[in-house]
A and B are shown apart, each in its own frame.
Chain A
Amino acid sequence: MSGASANNTRWAYTLFSSLVIGFILLPLVFIVWMSFFSNKILSFPPQGYTLDWYTRAWELSDFRNGFFLSFRTSMIATLVALVLGLPASFALVRGRFAGRDLVNTLLMSPIVVPAIVGGSAIFVFFLEIEFLTGIQVAGSSLGLIMAHSLIALPWMIRLVTTSMISVNPSIEEAASSLGAGPLTIFFRITLPVIKPGVIAGSLFAFVNSFIDLEKSIFLVGPNSTTLQIALINYLEWNFDSTIGAVATVQISLITLLLLITDRYVKLSRAF
């Protein structure tokens, strides 16, 4: 009797959860499906299937250049986050200093401050610099890279510190007592152990920078829009399967990166 009711409960949960997960996933399934429709004006059901929308998306310079600009910007931002984030993570995990919690909070603050507010602040800041010095930062690739490095940095630090905590400090102390310098210790002992965290952190930082909309929207120039901005600009006047093609490429790329990330660090731990 109680076994039967436990079974019913289980089925109820399974059914309910499938519906909710379906609700989350279904829009993506439909947009991928739609990218292959041959209908000139988007409608359901499809009249046939074609790959033309992918060619069209590639031929639109906004999407093509946007993809490359996004890719390049996110790569550089990830590198910056790596170079700045690795030592910072080391300081946060190994250091015993007053104000460490404050440093940690401040380094995480780019995630906490609302993206639109952070974007507004940096936009006005860049323009005020321009008024004072005449150097154009907003709309330049330098400004964009700086904003994106800021997006990437906290994710990098979060994933690297979690994996650094698992390194036993006595191994580092042993190396130190045998005469190894701090750099040798870092590259020969710490880095190999935290490698999964570094890889996952880099991929996650890249993804979060690549998909950013709310900060980039303030900082892109007229001839240099990132892919996300190109998408919403296009959406303002059009809604056809070109969107589906671009979305499908992005969904595939990011799903792939997330699957790789998950091999190194459980994805749910990043939040």
Chain B
Amino acid sequence: MTDTVAEPARGAAPKGVAIRLGIPMLSAPAMILVALGLLLPLALMLRNSLNIYDPAELMISAFTLENYVKFFTDSFYQGVLWRTIWISALSTAICLIFGAPVAYFLARYVGDFAKRMLLIFILVPLLIGNAVRTSAWMLILNDHGVLAAILGFFGYEGELGLMYSAPGVVIGLVSVLLPFMIITLNSVFEAIDRNLEDAGLSLGANHVTIMRRIVLPLALPGILSGSVLCFILSMNAYATPVLIGGPTFHMMAPTVYQQIAKVMNWPFGAALSFILMAVTLCLTIWVSALVQRKYRKWSE
């Protein structure tokens, strides 16, 4: 009898130690997959970006910054980077302008069930995949497409010219980024105490004043993170610029693909990848710092 009581107590100590040591190890298999499939290939790519491209041998081992210098001295590639940046900034701004009211609407004016349904409707276009979503936009935007037919019905006969153009690409990007913006901002607005707005209202402020003086300052960190998310995704966009922008509309991600998989210039493609990630990171840090300084002034 005493034995059966004592036994779990005796066994408990070593088992406890085993569990404590064992628990972190449970993440090892997943870490191995990430290490083999992502971290190691990325490290290798960073190394490759210092090599020299050779059409016959693909790559000659070296230790040079030539590929990075090539990027920053070739006006073509700088143009690609600038185009990527302004297209992304513009798309993000449009998403903010159109997404914020929808997010606020969902947070304040819609019941639980309707909100859940609307959020699914907003998320479906995001999760049906870039290929299908972009082909749907091609159907709308091309010169014999839906938009042209609608405008033709109203007597407009000119060329639409939205395919293979910057406005077309921005429209395509906005449609895939809007769901991200709406979902991020929705949770931000929901976290703001509704009583604050009611207090403002009872003190005689109109809706615009309440938004500007109460909601906007409180939501600013969330607005920032939503915008950063959209900007990053847009900087890395591949399908939209390729399919709607066409072969002559160059943005960064398609250029990376071109260099790595078609030209097989791995060192330069690798350098392009790291320039893309570094520029995106620097810009988001810079904008975040700007907004936070402004935010601090505001709250003082």
The answer to whether A207 and B102 have CB atoms under 8 Å apart is: no
Interface residues of B, count at CB 8 A: 92
User: Among the interface residues A27, A44, A107, which one has the most CB atoms of the partner chain B within 10 A?
Assistant: A27
Contact with B along A31-67 (1 / 0, CB 8 A): 1001000000011110000000000000000000000
Which residues on B sit within 8 Å (CB–CB) of A259?
A: 120
Give the complex CA separation of A85 and B253 in angstroms.
29
CA distance A84 to B37 in the complex (A): 14
CB distance from A109 to the nearest CB of B (A): 6
* Bound CA span A217–B243, Å: 14
Contact (Cβ within 8 A) B34 A106: yes
Contact (A247, B253) CB under 8 Å given A254-B127, A267-B120: no
Nearest 5 A-B pairs (CB), nearest first? A211-B129, A27-B136, A44-B149, A121-B41, A87-B26
Are the C-beta atoms of A44 and B131 separated by less than 8 Å? no
Binds A, one of B42-50, B74-82, B154-162: B42-50
Chain A residues within 8 Å of B27, by CB? 87-88, 91-92, 95, 103, 107
Kindly supply a per-residue 1/0 record for chain A positions 97-138, scoring 1 wherever the CB is within 8 Å of any chain B CB and 0 otherwise.
Answer: 100100100110110011111111111110010000000000
- Smallest CB-CB separation from A27: which chain B residue? B136
| B239, A232: Cβ atoms closer than 8 Å | yes
- With both beta carbons as reference points, the residue of chain A lying nearest to B104 in the complex is identified as A13
Residue A189 is within 8 A (CB to CB) of chain B in the complex? no
Determine which residue in B8, B131, B138 has the highest number of CB atoms from chain A within 10 A of its CB, and name it.
Answer: B131
Q: Shortest distance in angstroms between A138's beta carbon and chain B's nearest beta carbon?
A: 10
B68 contacts the other chain (Cβ, under 8 Å)? no
A116-B257, A121-B44 as given contacts; A235 in contact with B178, CB under 8 Å = no
On chain A, the residues within 8 Å of B245 by CB distance are none
Residues of B within 8 A of A246 (CB): 132
On B, residues with C-beta under 8 Å from A are: 8, 11-12, 15, 19, 22-27, 29-31, 33-42, 44-45, 48, 98-99, 101-102, 104-106, 108-109, 116, 118-125, 127-133, 135-140, 142, 144-146, 149, 175, 178-180, 183-184, 186-187, 201, 206-207, 235-236, 238-239, 242-243, 253-254, 256-257, 260-261, 266, 269-270, 273, 276-277
Interface of B is mostly: helix
Asked whether B144 lies within 8 Å of A110 as measured between CB atoms, the reply is no
Q: How far is the CB of B175 from chain A (nearest CB, A)?
A: 6
Give the distance to chain A from B82, nearest Cβ to Cβ, in Å: 18
The interface residues of chain B lying within 8 Å CB-to-CB of A78 are: none
The smallest beta-carbon distance between B280 and chain A, in angstroms, is 8
- CA–CA, A106 to B30, complex, Å? 10
B131 CB contacts on chain A under 8 angstroms: 211, 213, 228, 231-232, 235
Given A28-B124, A87-B29, verify A42-B144 contact (CB < 8 Å).
Answer: yes
Say whether, besides A20-B178, A91-B23, A268-B123, A117 and B256 are in contact (CB < 8 Å). yes
**A-B pair number, CB within 8 angstroms:** 285
**Chain B residues, Cβ within 8 Å of A210:** 129
**Contact residues in B for A14 (Cβ distance below 8 Å):** 105, 109
Residue of A9, A25, A121 touching B38 (CB-CB under 8 A): A121
Extra contacts, 15 of them, besides A24-B122, A117-B42 (Cβ < 8 A), are: A2-B201, A5-B207, A10-B109, A17-B102, A43-B149, A87-B27, A87-B29, A95-B24, A103-B24, A113-B277, A119-B257, A177-B8, A213-B130, A262-B120, A268-B123
CA distance A268 to B112 in the complex (A): 13
* A255 to B122 CA separation, bound complex (whole angstroms): 11
Q: Is the CB of B120 within 8 A of A24?
A: no
Residue pairs across A and B with Cβ atoms less than 8 A apart, 5 shown, are A30-B139, A114-B273, A120-B273, A153-B34, A250-B129
Residues of B contacting A23 with CB < 8 Å?
98, 175, 178
Q: Are B33 and A121 in contact (CB under 8 A)?
A: no
Q: Judging by beta carbons under 8 Å apart, are A125 and B130 in contact?
A: no
Q: Could you say which residues of chain A place their CB within 8 Å of the CB of B108?
A: 13
A window 66-94: CB within 8 A of B: 80, 83-85, 87-88, 90-92, 94
Chain A residues lying within 8 Å of B101, measured Cβ to Cβ, are: 13, 16-17, 20
Given contacts A13-B109, A21-B118, A27-B140, contact A228 B183 (CB under 8 A): no
Decide if B239 touches A120 in the complex (CB within 8 Å). Answer: no
CB <8 Å contact, A267 and B128: no
Q: Which of A28, A34, A176, A210 has the most CB of B within 10 A?
A: A28
